[in-house]
Amino acid sequence: MEILKPQHPTPDDQNFLMGATLMFWDVNKTKIDFKKHYRSIITRVLNYGSLEETQRLFQIYTESAIKEALIHPIRGEWHPKIYKAFCNLFSLPVEKKAFNVLQIRRETLHRANNIFKNL
């Protein structure tokens, strides 16, 4: 399976990664490998990236690499609504193990609060 599109990563792609401080705050960005860490990069950009960052991601990675990151998600890393939306975009089944449990609890608590507020 091809992970990167031809001629990638470019110096602009490296700059994109270096500028993504909110998404990669916990790692040394100089040691991130676009091929080796593709699932983590795709997951973080789709979860936390802006429209421009998401568009850049689709320029760097092949569709098969993005699908692979969705089919075999990093356990507990995805926000449920975002993960479901991208699975729907590619007509892929949803893996519940992908969901961030804290995000699910927060959404459930929010729904419960709304129900009790309206009683």
**Of the candidates 112, 115, 67, the residue with the CA atom closest to the CA atom of residue 92:** 67
Give the distance, in angstroms, between the CA of residue 86 and the centroid of all CA atoms in the same chain.
Answer: 9
CA torsion sign, 32 to 38 to 40 to 45?
A: positive
Identify whether the C-beta of residue 17 lies closer than 8 Å to the C-beta of residue 24.
yes
Identify whether the C-beta of residue 16 lies closer than 8 Å to the C-beta of residue 53.
yes
The answer to whether the bond into 73 is cis (omega within 30° of 0) is no
**Of the candidates 32, 36, 40, the residue with the CA atom closest to the CA atom of residue 13:** 32
Summarize pLDDT for 44-79 with one digit per residue, the tens.
Answer: 999 999 999 999 999 999 999 999 999 999 998 998
Cα–Cα distance, 54 to 71 (Å, whole number): 18
Cα–Cα distance, 4 to 59 (Å, whole number): 9
pLDDT in the model for residue 117: 73
Summarize pLDDT for 15-32 with one digit per residue, the tens.
Answer: 888 888 788 888 888 889
pLDDT in the model for residue 41: 95
Mean confidence (pLDDT) of the chain: 88
Global pTM value: 0.83
